[in-house]
Amino acid sequence: MKSEPIYELHNAIQTSPNPFLCVKTLLSYPLWNWVQEYYAYMRDFTGGMDFINYCICVIEYSNSNCSDEEKKLWSIKLSRFLLFLYDRQNLWSEYILHFDELLKRKDLFFEYYEPPSFFVPDVYIIEQKNAAVKLHFLYAADERYQIIKRKIEKKNTWKNVEHLKCHQQYSLSSKELDRRYRKIINKLKEIV
């Protein structure tokens, strides 16, 4: 089932005289939270990946319209969401590959001016000077990364992993999809 407003939204962005402004708006709070919730709640994981790819294309094309800091934050947002979508689609190997590729990028960090009060594996520490530390944004996803690695390990040893898989949109009845759709659209109406 294709949910009309989200596809109308895609078309509106694509036909807009300024798609960059549309994407920038959707990546801002609170709309970004709604966009993520829409794709997750409707289990439209493939649509979410298409949306991410489109955002990346628009941002790259409009490179001169945004600061390096904006590009960094959008890259982090889109990367986190892409990892989430890989996980929800049970594309575990793709999750690990993308995670490992992202980890090589040393420009995707958050800077803390006091040492973190929690343990951070060295692989996520990009730079440390005195009390300040730059942590790769993926440090917060390390636990999920380890879980997915264990899922792959079980799968590779021919153990049953069906119970570890996330449910997909096709497992929802049309009535349930309609109910979810109405609920998420009402949430959007509260935001805007």
pLDDT over threshold 70, residue 1: no
DSSP-derived 3-state class of residue 183: helix
pLDDT over threshold 60, residue 159: yes
Query: What value does the CA radius of gyration of the chain take, rounded to a whole number of Å?
Result: 19
- pLDDT tens per residue, range 104-154: 999 999 999 987 888 888 999 999 988 889 999 999 999 999 999 999 999
DSSP type of residue 65: G
Beta bridge partners of 112: 133
In angstroms, the CA 92 to CA 150 distance is 10
In angstroms, the CA 111 to CA 53 distance is 27
pTM: 0.88
In angstroms, the CA 113 to CA 133 distance is 6
In angstroms, the CA 29 to CA 121 distance is 30
- pLDDT tens per residue, range 22-68: 899 999 999 999 999 999 999 999 999 999 999 999 999 988 888 99
The CA-atom distances, in angstroms, between 99 and each of 81, 83, 181 are: 12, 7, 31
DSSP type of residue 29: T
Cβ atoms within 10 Å of 102's Cβ, excluding its own:
19
Q: What is the mean pLDDT of residues 75-96?
A: 97
Reading the block at residue 154, the tokens are 């079980």
Residue bearing tokens 């439209």: 44
Beta bridge partners of 109: 136
- Do 138 and 124 meet the contact criterion of CB atoms below 8 Å apart? yes
